[in-house]
Amino acid sequence: MIAFRDIFITGLLLGGIFALVSVGLTLQYGVARVLNVAHGEFIMVGAFMTFWLLGSANLNPLLSVAITGPVAFIMGFILHKTLFRRLMDTSPSLDIFEGKSLLASFGLLYVVQNLARIIWGSDVEGYNFLNSTVTAAQIPLNRLVALAFVVVLGGAFYFFLARTRLGKAIRASAQSPTTAELMGVDIRNVLAICFGLGLGLAAIAGSLLSTLFAIQTSIGLGYTVIAMVVVVMGGLGSITGAMIGGIILGLVSSTVTFFHPSLTMIAYYVIFIVLLLARPKGIMGK
C-alpha cells in the first residue's frame, strides 16, 4: 500500500513537471509554430541555474523559479524577436517556416548545450533538498513540497490562459493567428511571448527536477523527446491535452520505474502508440 501511494505521489509530481514542459512546447509549436528541439536544453539550464543559485547565494531551490523562469522567458522573447521573427518574415509559407525553424532550433540545441558544458562542465551534479521523510511514510518531504508547488503553478498558469486578456489572445492566436490579428491582437508580440513562456516553463520544470534528481548538462534531449510524445499524445496544439498527457506519462514513468527502471522509455512509447491507435488525433484532438 505504502509503495503504491509513493508511486502515485511521485507519478503525480513527475506528471505535473512533464505537464509544465509539454505545455511550454505546445505554446511554442501550437502557437508560435516552432518545433523547438532545444526545449529540453532550457530545462537543463533551469536546473543548473537553480543548482548554481543554491551554491553561490544559498537560494532556496523552489524560490529560485522566480529567477529561472523570468530569465528563460526573456531569453525566449529575445530569441523569437530576433531569430525566429526573421525566419518567419523571409518564409513564403508557414510550412517553409516550420522547416527552417526546426533547423534553427537544432542549432540552438548545440549552442546552448555546449555553452552549458563550458560553464558547468559535464559531470553529474546534485544536492540535497528537504530529504527528511514524512513520519512513517517513506515519501521524502521534497516530493510533497514540490508537488504542492507544481499544482499551484499549473493552476496559476491555467488561470492566466483561461481568464486574462493576454491568455485569451494566446488561445485565440493558437486557433487562428489571422483572425486574432483582425481582433486587434499584435501577433508579433504574442508569438514572442508564447515562445518566451515556453522556455520559462521549461526552466521552471528544470528547477523543480533538480530538487529530485541528479543533473547533468546532457539531460535536455531526453526531456525534449518526452515533451514531444506528450504533445502528440495530448493532441497537437491542445494545452489541456498536454496537461493530461503529461500527468499520464508521469504516472506511467513512476510505476514502471518502480518495477523495472530500464523499461521506462519503452513504456512511454507503448502508451504513446496505444493511445494514438485508440485516438489518432490525441486525447483532446478533434
Residue 140 CB, nearest distance to another protein (Å)? 40
CA atoms within 13 A on the CB side of 162: 8
Asked if 90 is part of the footprint of another protein (rule: CB under 8 A), the reply reads no
Residue 167 CB, nearest distance to another protein (Å)? 10
CA distances from 93 to 102, 170, 187, 262 (A): 14, 21, 16, 43
Q: Name which of 131 and 176 has its Cβ closer to another protein.
A: 176
Whole-number Å distance between alpha carbons of 55 and 211: 13
Asked if 19 is part of the footprint of another protein (rule: CB under 8 A), the reply reads no
Radius of gyration over every alpha carbon of the chain, rounded to an integer in angstroms: 19
Asked if 185 is part of the footprint of another protein (rule: CB under 8 A), the reply reads yes
Residue 284 CB, nearest distance to another protein (Å)? 10
* Contact by Cβ (8 Å): 185, 193: no
Q: Name which of 172 and 265 has its Cβ closer to another protein.
A: 172
The residue from 188, 225, 236, 264 that contacts another protein (CB under 8 A) is: 188
Asked if 186 is part of the footprint of another protein (rule: CB under 8 A), the reply reads yes
Q: Name which of 131 and 179 has its Cβ closer to another protein.
A: 179
Annotate 204-237 with DSSP letters as a single string.
Answer: HHHHHHHHHS-B-TT-HHHHHHHHHHHHHHH-TT
Closest CA relative to residue 22, chosen from 157, 126, 165 = 157
Asked if 23 is part of the footprint of another protein (rule: CB under 8 A), the reply reads no
**Sign of the CA dihedral running 210, 214, 215, 218:** negative
- Which residues ranging from 122 to 181 are in contact with another protein (CB under 8 A)? 165, 168-169, 171-172, 175-176, 178-181
Residue 183 CB, nearest distance to another protein (Å)? 5
Contact footprint for another protein (CB under 8 A): 92, 165, 168-169, 171-172, 175-176, 178-188
